Structure formats: C-alpha cells, structure tokens
Amino acid sequence: MNTPESSVFVPAADRKGTPKELFFIWFAGNIGILGVVYGAMIVGFQLSFLQSLLAAAAGALSFALVGYLSLAGRDAGTTTFVLSRAAFGFKGNYIPTFMGWINLVGWLAVGVVTGTLTLLALFSVFGISSNPVLTLISLLIFAALIIGSSMFGQEALVKIQTFFTYVFGGLTLLVLLILIPKTNWTELMNMSNGNWLTNFLPAVSIIMAGTGISWSIASADYSCYQKPDQSSRSIVTRVTFGAFIPLFVIMSVGVLMSTSVPDLAVSANPIEVISQALPRWMTVLYFVTALGGLIPQCIIGLKSARVNLETLNIQVKDSTSLIIHSLFLILIPIYTLFVSEDFMGNFQTFLGLLGIGMAAWAAIFLIDYVKIRKTAGYDPRLLTDPGYNKVNYPGVFSWLAGVLVGFLFTNSPFFDGPFAKGMFQDNSLGVLLAFAASALVYYILLTVTARK
C-alpha cells in the first residue's frame, strides 16, 4: 500500500530490518532465569517427566502467534495497536489498547521489583545488609537502566538485544548446566502420567498465557521496521524460534529442578531460592546473569508501553511520555517494596485477569488479518482517520463475547466464575477459552457479513 504522510507509519528509509534482527530481539527477551519457575509450575500439575517436557514445548510454541501477527507489522509498517484500529474501529480500539497499556506497564513494574530484589541479593553476597536506603538505591539503579534504554532507536535496540543474547544467553546456559546435576533423576523418572485433559492442558494454558499470548500485543512493534519484501516464512520462524529456544531450554531445567528445589514454584522470591541451589563461587555470576535476563524483557515492555500510549491518541511530547512511564516504573515498586507486602500478589492476579482481555483481542486481530488484511491490506483511512470507522461493531462484540466466556471459566481471589471448577480451576484455561470464543464469533460474523 502507499504509505501516507503520517506519524503512525515508520518512514520507508527506516524500514530496513531483517528477520535475523527479530530473532535476537525475542531471544534476548526470553532468556530470563525466572523461566525455570514455569518449569516447576508444570510439574505441579502432576505430570510425568515426558509430559512436562511436552507441555513446556507446546507452551513455548505459542510464540508462533507472535510470529504470525508480526506479518501485519511488516505489511503495513506500523505498530500493533495502530493496526488493531482496523478490526475494532478507531474509537472501538481504545478499550483494548488501554488494557494493553496497563498490562505492559504492570508487568514492567513487576520486572523492576524483581530486578531490585536481585540487586539486593547481589549486595548481600558482599556482606551489605538490606535496608530501606539500599532498597531505594537498588530500585533507582535498575529503573535507570530500563529508562535509559528508551533513548535508543531501533538499530541500537537490535544491537543491545543481540549483545544480551550472546553474553547473558551464554551465562544463563552456564548457570543451567550447573543446576542440572542436582536433579533427583530417580524421583523424576518415577513421576506418574497425569490426565492429558485435566492435567496436561491446564499446564500448557498457563505457559501460553504467560508467553505467546501475553507478548502478542507487541508483535508488530518490531516487525514494522522490516523491509516490506521480507519473506513471511523467515519472519514467522525467526520470531517463533527466537523465543522458543531459550524458553524451552530454561523451562526444561525448571522441570529438572522441581526435584531438588520443591518450593521453587511457590516461592515469593524464586531468584533467591535458585541461588541457594548453586555453589557459593557461582552466586555473584548467577545474580548478574539474572539481572541480564530481566533487562531485555523490560526494554521491550517499556518501548511497547510508550507506543500504546501514543495509540490512545493522547498527545504528549516524547519527554512527557517518558516521565509518565518512569513514574509508574518507580512508584509501583516503591509501594510494593515499602508499603504493602500483599500488593504484589494481588497486582499479579489483576494483571492475569487482564490477560483474558488481551487473549480475546489477539484472536480478533488474528482472524481479521487472516480473513481480510492478508490479501486486501490495511486501508490507511482505517488507521489514521478518526471519523472513517469509529466503531467496528463485529470486532467489539466478538471481543466482549470472548471476555465474558473467559471470566465465566476463571477463578481468582477477586471473584469465582460459575464454571471455574474441576479442570478449569486455578489455571489459565479461561484465557484460552476467551481466545477461542472471540476467534469463533468474529469468524462467523465476518463470514455472514461477506455473504450479505
């Protein structure tokens, strides 16, 4: 399509990215050592060793969704929630975009809290005891690293993520190799098979919800810099396996560690728990590696959060946007670390509930691309003209239907859905059902509309 003169589109001169760059962006974003917690959670669903590995693989492959949705960014040369205007309407897109922004900022704050606790643990290795002043200093140091990353453009971001992939990816592998020998292989091999429907599927749902479905809201934010003629297969495979490789390897080690560190999946500070399973000489390197794994995730989250704020049509300067996000990055962790010890658990539960809305959104974005945009492209008026397509009612209705279905099958400390029982209790199957329901309803509505 002809690119109009609009700030929502990446200038043609800047669209020179390659699929290889997407591989490094998503590889670096998934090397976090906390992936071992996912592995331990999988075993908690009473699965055998083989079933646990299959669940880790199936969950990590959910990044194929991110890979496929990345094609929309390449096609149109703009970011995810700008493209979402085509499926929801210019104003109908406000609610899912706002939810996406809260989701990104919220998990970004969680990452900063985790990074702060990791820094405190690193200081304790050198005999520096934790206190409020040191906690605040650690918070400001980690937040400054993330905020400073926003000063870089796309090319610099690619170089940074490539650096993190090689350096901290290698260090993460070293840590994992040291942890593997601590596995109780007898206990691991004696784990009995779980039910494929009531145990395996819920385990996969949690991984999918926390990885591929969660990151789908940022899929086009990086592929929009790709050359328009880049191969679809290359983009999908590089994104998918860029995330799959580190995720699967790290989660697999989490499965192994579940025998030697049984409380890993339920620990309030899993990074510290993992450190206790390492030899003392390795502790410093481990904490540095953990920090290196957290930073790339936060960099991606901050950039996409700022892009989402722009998509809400809130007209602020770049400097003002950075200040707004910096305040959230600092104030939420301050409240968590100094005021409310129970806040983080409830906050993460709230963010998990937002995942239902994001899953329903991802389904509609996917069906809209497959049924319409893949062949017809994106009419620039759909993305830039507030008066052209204010609300796309089939998209909005399908999204609401999916959200409703998701909540009906979800339980949390805030409420219990009437059908969140049995295999639907205490997992993320509600997220997958929200995705499936929205996809089905929107597909039917588009088919009926096309026939008319």
Give the model confidence (pLDDT) of 25-47 as tens digits: 999 989 887 788 888 889 888 99
| Angstrom distance (rounded) from CA 154 to CA 313 | 22
Which pLDDT score, from 0 to 100, does residue 3 have?
40
Residue 6 pLDDT > 60: no
Residue 1 pLDDT > 60: no
What is the residue extent of each domain of the chain?
A: 15-353
List Cα–Cα distances, 339 to 114, 135, 344, in angstroms: 16, 13, 11
Which pLDDT score, from 0 to 100, does residue 390 have?
92
Angle (CA) 375 63 395, round 5°: 45
Cα 399–chain centre separation: 20
Q: What are the tens digits of pLDDT across the range 175-216?
A: 888 888 888 888 889 899 999 998 999 999 889 988 999 899
3-class SS of residue 226: strand
| Angstrom distance (rounded) from CA 309 to CA 151 | 17
**Which range is least confidently modeled, 111-120, 272-281, 400-409, 434-443?**
272-281
| Angstrom distance (rounded) from CA 233 to CA 279 | 43
Q: Span 280-302, mean pLDDT?
A: 85
User: What is the phi/psi pair of residue 416, to 5°?
Assistant: -125, 120
Q: Span 378-402, mean pLDDT?
A: 94
Residue 2 pLDDT > 70: no
Which pLDDT score, from 0 to 100, does residue 346 have?
66
pLDDT-derived band at 345, boundaries 50, 70, 90:
low
Q: Span 95-121, mean pLDDT?
A: 90
Note whether 435 and 212 are within 8 A (CB).
no
What percent of the chain stands above pLDDT 70? 96
| Angstrom distance (rounded) from CA 383 to CA 300 | 23
* Assigned architecture for domain 15-353: Orthogonal Bundle (1.10)
Q: Span 349-366, mean pLDDT?
A: 89
When comparing pLDDT for 245 and 159, which is higher? 245
